[in-house]
Amino acid sequence: MKTRPIRCLVTAGPTREHLDPVRFLSNPSSGKMGYALATAAAAAGWKVDLVSGPVALTPPKGVKIHKVISATEMFQAVNKLFDSCDVLFMCAAVSDFTPKKVFTHKVKKDNAALTVEFLPTVDILKTVASRKRSNQLVVGFAAETKNVEAYARRKLREKSLNFIIANQVGCAGSGFEADNNAVILIGHNGGRATLGPAPKTKLARQLIAQLKSKINLV
């Protein structure tokens, strides 16, 4: 009997939360790790949907890409695709807050307020993980500047994830925007593996290989 392809959902890149049509808040995520994961998954024969924030990267071959800008748009795309996937890699760096008021036209400098009120964005990972099936894998990412493993384990537990991939950011040569990275793969059952430092493309292939055996197709 022929086994169907693994259905993989990957998010990548930053989101942008606009203050007006020409100003926004974002973060330094380049999308390289998420795009590398999507590429590696497709090369492994998986069927891949990639939900991508604004990045300057070439879409991977054999991958269906869904372009979004804001955290709300990313949530809508992930929410629509999640139920049909076997594994979710939530690699995107989603903005935690969005401006309470968004102006229709560019606000002139002389009229701009120096104080901005914010609202929390939807917690995409926690929301979809709360309804995951027993045969679905939900893999989160934790990008931290300190207490990397401790914070990652808390996120793993609080968001009911199967695995979390932790890495340190804010240091030269790895993390945001870099071509290389070093990560810790932590499982909900206590398993732990360190990968790297290595190119993100190599790490992506290693992660796909490690997690493939954990996916139960039905």
pLDDT at 112: 74
Is-catalytic flag, 167? no
Selecting among 27, 111, 180, 216, the annotated active-site residue is 27
Q: What is the pLDDT of residue 1?
A: 47
Per-residue CA distances from 49 to 5, 59, 216 (Å): 13, 11, 19
What is the predicted pLDDT for the residue at 4? 85
- Residue length of the chain: 218
* Residue 218 confidence (pLDDT): 59
- Separation of alpha carbons 61 and 39, rounded Å: 7
pLDDT of the chain, 218 residues: tens digit per residue? 458 899 999 999 999 999 999 999 999 899 999 999 999 999 999 999 999 999 999 999 999 999 999 999 999 999 999 999 999 999 999 999 999 999 999 988 877 777 889 999 999 999 999 999 999 999 999 988 899 999 999 999 999 999 999 998 766 555 577 889 999 999 998 889 999 899 999 999 999 999 998 887 75
Output the six-digit token pair for 52: 């991508």
Instruction: Find, among 169, 47, 34, 36, the residue nearest to 90 by Cα.
Output: 34
Burial class of residue 206 in the structure, from the number of CB atoms within 10 Å of its CB (0-12 exposed, 13-18 middle, 19+ buried): middle
> pTM for the complete prediction?
0.93
* Contact of 18 with 101, CB cutoff 8 Å: no
